[in-house]
Chain A
Amino acid sequence: MSEHAMQTARNYETGKLQVVIGAVLLIIFLSAIYSIQVSGVANLLDYDREIEARVPTFLVRMFFVLMALVATFMIFTSTALYKRNRVACAPWMFLSVGMTFFLVYVIVPIFQSISYSFTRWNGLYDITGNWTGEWVGFYNYRLLFDDPNFVTSLINNVLWLALFMLAVPIGLAIALFLNQTVTGIRFYKSLFFFPFVISQVVVGLIFTWAYNPEFGLLSEAWSVFFCEEKENIVGNMTKVCSIDPPSILGEAKYATYGIIAAGLWPQIAYCMILYLTGLNNVSPDQIEAGRLDGAKGWNMLWYVIIPQLKPATFIAVVVTVIGSLRSFDMIATMTQGGPFGSTNVLAFYMYDQAVGEGVGRYGYGSAIATVLFAIMLCFISVFLWRMYQDEKVVH
């Protein structure tokens, strides 16, 4: 008993010291945050221009903010309030930094974007720092539906969504094909996964080249079926084709399909790896039981295996939906929305309208982004609902 009292007393003592140190540090850091200025850092680090001093100033500020936070925690953890409610207070302290970051950079901007969509604005402020836009209500949304490019983008997004879903069954097929134990299979599995690791920009470039009608991979395959080598009048060998190879990215009716096919390549790899992991965890007892009941081939797959792969399917669908609605990199690399705006999707069209060359339609761009967000939100709600059901089962 007395030992416990001693312990409490010691805690109290260190607590007092902690408060004093914490308070001193907090004052130092807060005054540092207040006093630090770009020009001051420029002088201190001997920079010629103030513009160059911005980055170090920002970093120094960040450092002081962080230190001030630590000092605040030092004070707070020594108070009686914290000591009595340790378990209740601790999570908020752990959450504070990450949550602030996430709020500032992700959650708040969503609402800001939605509010921009009701304005006409070019992203600029006047000399005194005042906002130069004006409120226009639903004007941007009314414009949207008269904009043929927006309608094309919306249709293309639906196409992307529908065709991207093919990645799930194809991924499952490849996973079933590779789920064997022959020597070197691990090597094969990782090579099949390879396209996912490569940047989408690089995949886009690879396929731009592959689709090239003159010397691409596709033209090469094409010539096997439709072309033959003939001797022309001068005596040189030339390629003569009965049907000319199509220029996939150059023609409005093929271009979107071409890009989706390119996008499927890494996505199939991702779905495949999800299913391979899932197949690894399928219970052997159930397969054995199914075999005893005479299930084979398709029946076995449909009634025994696929139900057990449900978690993998869920994740595969989630990442595929998100991936299809986020398609930006490929379009930016392969066609930049062309030919004649036929490959635009909402994600790219929004970028083009808001910060593309010569345009600065922040309000209109935000309206497009809001529509895209609304579509995504439908899916996000379903995912969260599913996750919530799972969580309820666990607890």
Chain B
Amino acid sequence: MFPTPVEKLSPSINIGYRFLLPLTLFIWLLPLLAIFMTSIRPVIDINTGNVFGIPSQFNLIENYTTVFAKTDAWLYMTNTLIITIPTVIISVALACITGYALAVYKFRWALPLFFVFVAGNFVPFQILMLPVIDMSNRLEILNTVPGLVMFHAAFQTGFCTLFMRNFMKALPFELIESARIEGVDEFRIFWYLVLPLVKPAIAALSVLIFTFIWNDFFWATVLLQDDAKLPITVGVRSLNGEFVSQWHLISAASLLAAVPPVIMFFLAQKHFIAGLTLGATKG
């Protein structure tokens, strides 16, 4: 293990490390802690410059209920869910089948097509923006949730396919081969043999895509205009304009927007990290 475990070093380093750890964490998360402290203060504290001291009043519940009462925060949250969940289902499902095709079959186009998916996943959003707007407009789905979901699902298919293909590549190929010799149909091999084996990958992908889509801002601004359909990320930004310098409310709303991905992360931490670091260990 590198660096050498502190337990094996001198006692002063050992103890020093244990003190240093919470301290660095505190500094690292300082912006977050400060914004949380701001979100539970009354407005008067902010105006008098009491940022770090003890709040003159603890307004945790009051500030957060104000956010819900005064704004459409709740609507924005449900909108985000309506966008996020179908996207996760569609893109993960598509990735399972495309990833299977690219991982299991050895045909000449497998690698070039795989690289098309990988490359497409890396392109800047701006190069897609205008044609996607134009196409959605012609399909009459501009400014609708299905329009946004379709785009997200299609775009995320690139990343998901990359992920699934690499995961399936690591499966024991002899298993599939022997099933084929038995005369099992290709679709049955996929459904009964491969799909159960990639369940962990499905879980990891779902958690990741959920977070990606929840945090999406660009495409929601581009493809949705109707205020009643906006997701929370766009909503929070517009609140910023609405509550000029009412930072206790802005910070409360921002933190609310961050809650679901954070919960998702802590519930499925193992999958989440496995998903993000796939490929960081091989080779």
**Which residue numbers of A lie inside 8 Å of B, CB to CB?**
38, 54-55, 57-59, 86-88, 90-92, 94-95, 97-99, 101-102, 104-110, 112-114, 116, 123, 176-177, 179-182, 185, 188, 190-195, 197-202, 205-210, 214-217, 220, 239, 265, 270, 273-274, 277-282, 284, 287, 300-301, 304-305, 310-312, 315-316, 322, 325-326, 328-329, 332-333, 346-347, 350-351, 354-355, 362, 365-366, 368-370, 372-373, 376, 379-380, 383-384, 387-388, 390-391
B81 at the interface (CB under 8 A from A): no
**Closest CB of chain B to A118's CB: distance in Å?**
13
> A158 → chain B, closest Cβ, in Å?
15
Does B107 count as interface, using CB distance less than 8 angstroms?
Answer: yes
Residues in A neighbouring B282, C-beta threshold 8 A: 311
Are A86 and B186 CB-contacts (below 8 A) given A109-B128, A209-B250, A376-B122?
yes
Complex contacts, B64 vs chain A, CB 8 Å: none
Query: Could you tell me the distance in whole angstroms from the C-beta of B152 to the nearest C-beta in chain A?
Result: 9
A79 CB, min distance to chain B CBs, angstroms: 14
Beyond A99-B98, A215-B247, list 16 extra A-B contacts (CB 8 Å). Answer: A90-B101, A95-B113, A109-B128, A113-B131, A193-B265, A200-B217, A202-B257, A205-B251, A206-B251, A215-B47, A274-B276, A281-B281, A322-B122, A351-B218, A370-B127, A380-B122
- Identify 5 residue pairs between A and B in the complex whose beta-carbon atoms are under 8 Å apart, listed by A's number: A102-B154, A105-B151, A123-B130, A328-B218, A355-B133
Contact with A along B153-194 (1 / 0, CB 8 A): 111011001000000000000000000100001110010000
How many A-B pairs with Cβ below 8 Å? 321
Q: How large is the interface on B (under 10, 10 to 19, 20 to 34, 35 or more residues)?
A: 35 or more
Contact A90 B105 (CB under 8 A): yes
B197: Cβ under 8 A from any A Cβ: no
User: Which of A55, A98, A112, A366 counts the most chain B CB atoms within 10 A?
Assistant: A98
CB-based contact B17/A182 at 8 Å:
yes
Would you call B203 an interface residue if the criterion is a C-beta within 8 Å of the partner chain's C-beta atoms? no
**Contact across chains for A300 and B2 when beta carbons are under 8 A apart:** yes
Q: Which chain B residues border A201 with CB–CB below 8 Å?
A: 215, 217, 233-234, 236-237, 254, 257
* Nearest CB of A to B42, in Å: 14
The distance from the CB of A290 to the nearest CB of chain B, in whole angstroms, is 9
Chain A residues near B11: list those with CB within 8 A.
none
Find the B residue at minimum CB distance from A390.
B283
Knowing A197-B211, A384-B115, say if A310 contacts B122 (CB, 8 Å): no
Q: With contacts A106-B128, A206-B32 known, is A197 near B265, CB below 8 A?
A: yes
